[in-house]
Amino acid sequence: MLATIGAQLANPKLRPIVIVGDGAFQMTGMEISTIARFGLNPIIIVLNNKGYGTERPMLDGPFNDILPWNYSQVPRVLNHGKGFVIETEDQLEESLSHAIGIYSNECCILDVRLESHDGSPALHRLTEVLGRKV
């Protein structure tokens, strides 16, 4: 989130697109208050898999689960921006289209709901290697 703020303050013509996991957002996402304060307009895509998806394949347990937040409601709380809940590819396409078009001057948060063990093949390969016991 801090990189987004710095990039947009350095060049206001830029509109950063942020891709962040829900666990990471809960650690750094309150910087969105600074985004609202300065009237910035990034598109923030929260990959919401209900916890620490990178950690689960290495050592699964309830410690990887996090308190569920309504990420799409954060702009409403701050009185700045627009939030979207996304559960399908069509909703993602439509929400991105609205974020780029109708809401181009506002911060947008896209709460992309994923299965808890959803991940890319690259992530699965990486965590398989990292999770091996030495």
- Give me the CATH number covering residue 44: 3.40.50.970
Residue 87: which of 55, 130, 49, 131 has the closest Cα? 49
Tell me if 121 is assigned to some domain.
no
Q: What is the mean pLDDT of residues 86-93?
A: 98
Give the Cα separation of 42 and 103 in Å (integer). 10
Q: Which residues pair with 51 in a beta bridge?
A: 65
The dihedral built from the CA positions of residue 33, 92, 19 and 39, taken in this order, carries a sign that is negative
Tell me if 85 is assigned to some domain.
yes
Cα 56 from chain centre: 18
How many domains are contained in the chain? 1
Tell me the Ramachandran region of residue 51: left when phi exceeds 0, alpha when psi lies from -120 to 50, beta otherwise.
Answer: left
Task: Give residue-wise pLDDT tens across range 29-85.
Answer: 899 999 999 999 999 999 999 999 888 888 888 999 999 999 999 999 999 999 999
- Residues of the domain holding 109: 20-116
Phi, psi of 110 (to 5 degrees): -105, 110
pLDDT at 18: 96
SS3 of residue 59 by DSSP: coil
Tell me if 123 is assigned to some domain.
no
DSSP state of 71: G
Tell me if 7 is assigned to some domain.
no
User: What is the percent of the chain with per-residue pLDDT over 90, rounded to a whole number?
Assistant: 75
Give the Cα separation of 39 and 55 in Å (integer). 34
Tell me if 13 is assigned to some domain.
no
Tell me if 132 is assigned to some domain.
no
pLDDT at 134: 47
36: amino acid identity, one letter? A
Quote the pTM value: 0.90
Tell me if 1 is assigned to some domain.
no
Tell me if 111 is assigned to some domain.
yes
Going by pLDDT thresholds of 50, 70 and 90, the confidence category of residue 116 is confident
